[in-house]
Amino acid sequence: MAASSRSAREAKRRIQQMEAKRELRRDQEQRRKRDNLIAAGAGTAAVVLAVVLQLTAFAGNPTEDEFAATEAGLTNPSASATPSAPATNGSNIPAADTAAGKTFTGDLVLNGKPLGVELNGTTAPQAAAVFKSLSDEGFYNGKSCHRLTTSDAFGVLQCGSANGDGQGDPNYTWGPLENTPADNSYPAGTIAVARSGNNAYGNGTQFFIVYKDTNIPADSAGGYTVVGKVTSGLDVVTGIAAAGITPGSSDTDGAPVQAVTIDSFSLK
């Protein structure tokens, strides 16, 4: 009877050990599945963040995707639509008739080096009115040129973001598009208005200087308003471009290696 009792106890102990091992394996499997879900969630969040950053880092168009579409011979590149703003300007936007028929000339000083500029209030009265008003207010003083593209046929320096991060001011948007090139060609020296994609009333405070002949396909809203031109000093921009861009997700589109500050923007 004693031997039988010991055998029974030993068998019970082995069963308990087996059950404990099974429970441990179940716990490990549950933890593995949970960890996989967390990892997948983190991966999804990372992808979403990357997309958001890509869409917002250069909120003012043109974008590198548009240039890639040009290289591929497409005329209507796909792009994430931007919610349409009302097709009217707010009271904080200067009226187009304040610039209609006028030509404004002056200097845009980058890193202490002046560019002569001319804005055309005949072909782009609304844009000229906006940039004349902003320059008169001293808005651009101390702002940066946050974006540089260096592709063979896509060379622009983009400036005027309120916070220097490429984001637009949602309280300062306007339209319509004016003087957009029918052939999507922007010659070297062009000064054009950056805007949010697919939005004719998505213009803001940002502009881009074309430092070499560039082709930018129109999106669903159209092209980009050409407000004026550089009349002297374009070599200042080509020198900035020659220094290249900071390493990032693109080899030809990013922040300039040489930090660029707008010392002043004066028009008369």
* Per-residue model confidence (pLDDT) at position 248: 84
Same domain, 29 and 107: no
CATH of the domain at 238: 2.40.100.10
Q: Is residue 57 part of a domain?
A: no
Domain shared by 128 and 196, yes or no:
yes
What pLDDT is stored for residue 18 in this prediction? 60
Q: What are residue 100's phi and psi, to 5 degrees? A: -55, 130
Query: For a pLDDT cut of 70, what percent of the chain falls above it?
Result: 68
Mean predicted confidence (pLDDT) in 238-242: 98
Q: Is residue 85 part of a domain?
A: no
Asked, for residue 68, whether it belongs to a domain, the answer is no
Is the pLDDT at 157 greater than 80? The verdict is: yes
The residues facing 159 across adjacent strands are 207
pLDDT higher than threshold 90 for residue 261: yes
For the chain, the domain total comes to 2
Name which of 18-22, 168-172, 193-197 the model is least confident about.
18-22
Residue 86 lies in a domain: no
Distance between CA atoms of 157 and 261, rounded to whole angstroms?
12
Contact in structure between 267 and 119 (CB atoms under 8 Å): yes
Give yes or no for residue 9 having a pLDDT over 80.
Answer: no
What is the helix (H) or strand (E) element at residue 228, kind and residue range? strand 226-232
pLDDT tens profile 115-145: 999 999 999 999 999 999 999 999 999 999 9
The domain of 237 spans 96-267
C-alpha distance from residue 232 to each of 120, 122, 229, 235 (Å): 16, 21, 9, 8
Task: With beta carbons less than 8 A apart as the criterion, state whether 233 and 240 touch.
Answer: no
Do residues 111 and 21 both lie within one domain? no
The arithmetic mean of pLDDT across residues 170-191, rounded, is 97
pLDDT at 38: 34
Residue 22 forms part of a structural domain: yes
Residues 131 and 252 in one domain: yes
In a domain, 81, yes or no: no
Which helix (H) or strand (E) segment holds residue 34: the answer is helix 2-57
Give domain status of residue 83, yes or no: no
Indicate the pLDDT class of residue 168, thresholds 50, 70 and 90. Answer: confident
